Amino acid sequence: MTQTPPPATPPEAWLTAWREVVATARRSVADGLVVGTSGNVSARVGDVVLVTPSGVPYERLTDADLCAVHLDGSRATGHLIPTSELPLHLAAYRATDASAVVHTHAVHATAVSTLVDELPAVHYMAAALGGPVRVAPYATYGSPELAAHAVAALAGRSGCLLRNHGTVVHGRDLAQAYANTAQLEWMCRVWLAAASVPGRTPALLPPQELEVVAERLRGYGQSDPPPPSPAGADGGAASSTGADPAPPSPLSGPADAAS
C-alpha cells in the first residue's frame, strides 16, 4: 500500500502527542523505572504512532526530533530511528484499542519476572490491569517473538511482565498507561517483600474479589469537574468518594486514581 508522503509540518495533534511522549519518558527516568534510554514510550494518533527514538537521552529530545511511524512500521515523519522495541509497541496497538504504551525495566517488576509465571494477586489493584499479571516468555529484545509473547500475555489485561526484561503496559492515554505501570511496579515490590518472610506465604485475593474491585473502579473518581467552593468557605478539598482504591506510589508520592 502506498503511504502518504510525510507532511512538511507535523499536524498539531502529532506534536501534542510527541510532547506527552517525551514528558512521560523523562518521568520514567526520574522515577527510577528505567536507566538511561532502556525504556520506551509511545502514543497513537489515528493510524500514526509517536514513539521515542533509539539511543537518544530523553532530556535532549525537542520538537524537532519528533519521531512518528505508521502502524506497519514505515516512517511517517522524523529523522531519528525509532526505538528497537517498535515491534512490541506496534503489536500492542494492533491487538488492542490502546492509545498509549509504556515499556520499562522497573527493578522489582523485572525481579518478579524471573521468579514466577504470573504475579500473585497480593493486592486488589491487580484489577486495574484486568487481573493477575502474566509473565511473557523470554525472547530477544526488539524481536517479533518478543512482541508475539507480549500480545499473548496481554490478552484480557492492560499490562504484563516480560521475562528477564521488564514491563509493558497500555492504556487509553499516557496518563493511564504510566499510572498503571507505577501500580504494577508497586505490586511487584509488595509481593517480593511479603514472599521474603521466612515460613510465611502471602495471602492472595480470589478472582471473584478482583471482579468486584474491577466493577468499583469503573465508577471511581470524578465524572465532572467539582463546583467551585463558596466564597469564604474553609479551604481543603474533600474526597469525592469514601473509597481509597489506589495504594501509595513507590515512585513520587501518593498514587493517582486508578483510572
Amino acid at 217: L
Active-site hit among 12, 20, 59, 85: 85
- What sign for the dihedral angle of Cα 209, 215, 217, 221? negative
10 bridge partner residues: none
Residues with Cβ within 8 Å of 3's Cβ and at least 6 positions away in sequence, in order, are: 70, 74, 76
What DSSP element (H or E) covers 5?
none
Q: Are 58 and 22 in contact (CB under 8 A)?
A: yes
* Phi and psi torsions of 39, nearest 5°: -100, 180
CA angle in degrees (0–180, nearest 5) for 244-170-66: 120
Contacts 24+ apart (CB under 8 A), 65-74: 66/10, 66/14, 66/15, 66/18, 67/18, 68/10, 68/14, 68/18, 70/3, 71/47, 72/1, 74/3
Which grid cell sits at 229? 467552593
Q: In what order do the strands lie in the sheet with 100-104?
A: 75-77, 68-70, 48-51, 40-45, 100-104, 166-171, 159-162, 135-136
Active site residue 85: yes
Segments of the chain assigned E as strands: 40-45, 48-51, 68-70, 75-77, 100-104, 135-136, 159-162, 166-171
Catalytic residues: 85
